[in-house]
C-alpha cells in the first residue's frame, strides 16, 4: 500500500532538516503542483504586465528555501506557510524594484477579496500592505503571523492554529483584530 503523501512530505521535511539533501530531491516532486497553484493564485492578483511567471516564482522560492541555514520545518502545512512567506517577499521585492524603475509610478495591486477586505472599495497596494503588515508584526508578532498565513499562505483557521500551535478560537480572535487594524492602516494611507 502506498504511503499517505501528506505523511511522506512531513517525513521528508524531517529528514531534510537533519541534513539529508536527497530528501529535498524527493520532496520537490511531491509539492511542486501545490506550489504552482499557490504561485498562480498570487500572480492572478498582480498587475497585468507583470513579468514574473508562475514557474519562475516557484523556482525563486525554492532557491530561497534551499539557501536557508536552518531547516526546522515541522510538517507539510509549515512548509507551505514558509514557502508562501517566501513568495510574498519575492513579489514585494519585485514591486519595490518596479516602483523604483518607474520613480514612484503605479505599483501593482493585490486583491484580498477571497480572504478579507482590508481596504474597503479598493485593492491595497502590495508594498503598502507589506509595510502595514510589517508594522503589525512589530506591534503584535502573533497577529502578523496569523495574517501572513491566512492571506499569503492560504491556510484555513484550523491549519493556521496547527502551524502556530494555538487554538482555532485564538486564531479567529487574532484574525479579527488584525483585519480591523490593517483596515485602519490601509485607509489612512
pLDDT in tens, 163-176: 889 999 999 999 99
> Grid cell 512589530 — which residue?
138
Provide the grid cell at 136. Answer: 503589525
145: part of which helix (H) or strand (E)?
helix 141-147
Question: What is the mean predicted confidence (pLDDT) over 74-96?
Answer: 83
The tens digit of pLDDT for each residue in 112-142 reads 444 444 433 334 577 788 888 888 989 999 9
Considering only residues 66 and 62, tell me which one the structure prediction assigns the higher pLDDT: 62
For 125, phi then psi, to 5°, come to -70, 135
Considering only residues 150 and 116, tell me which one the structure prediction assigns the higher pLDDT: 150
Partnered with residue 109 across adjacent β-strands are 125
Per-residue pLDDT at 91 exceeds 60: yes
Q: pTM of the predicted model, to two decimals?
A: 0.61
Amino acid at each position: 500500500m502506498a504511503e499517505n503523501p501528506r505523511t511522506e512530505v512531513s517525513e521528508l521535511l524531517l529528514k531534510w532538516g537533519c541534513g539529508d539533501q536527497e530528501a529535498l530531491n524527493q520532496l520537490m516532486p511531491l509539492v511542486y503542483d501545490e506550489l504552482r497553484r499557490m504561485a498562480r493564485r498570487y500572480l492572478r492578483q498582480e498587475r497585468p504586465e507583470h513579468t514574473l511567471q508562475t514557474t519562475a516564482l516557484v523556482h525563486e522560492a525554492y532557491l530561497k528555501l534551499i539557501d536557508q541555514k536552518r531547516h526546522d520545518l515541522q510538517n507539510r502545512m509549515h512548509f507551505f506557510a514558509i514557502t508562501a512567506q517566501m513568495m510574498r517577499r519575492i513579489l514585494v521585492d519585485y514591486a519595490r524594484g518596479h516602483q523604483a524603475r518607474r520613480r514612484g509610478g503605479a505599483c501593482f495591486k493585490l486583491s484580498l477579496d477571497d480572504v478579507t477586505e482590508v481596504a474597503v472599495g479598493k485593492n491595497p497596494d502590495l508594498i503598502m500592505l507589506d509595510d502595514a503588515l510589517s508594522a503589525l508584526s512589530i506591534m503584535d508578532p502573533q497577529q502578523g503571523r496569523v495574517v501572513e498565513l491566512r492571506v499569503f499562505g492560504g491556510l484555513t483557521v484550523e491549519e493556521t492554529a496547527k502551524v502556530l500551535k494555538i487554538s482555532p478560537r485564538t486564531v479567529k480572535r487574532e484574525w479579527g483584530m488584525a483585519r480591523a487594524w490593517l483596515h485602519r492602516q490601509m485607509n489612512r494611507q
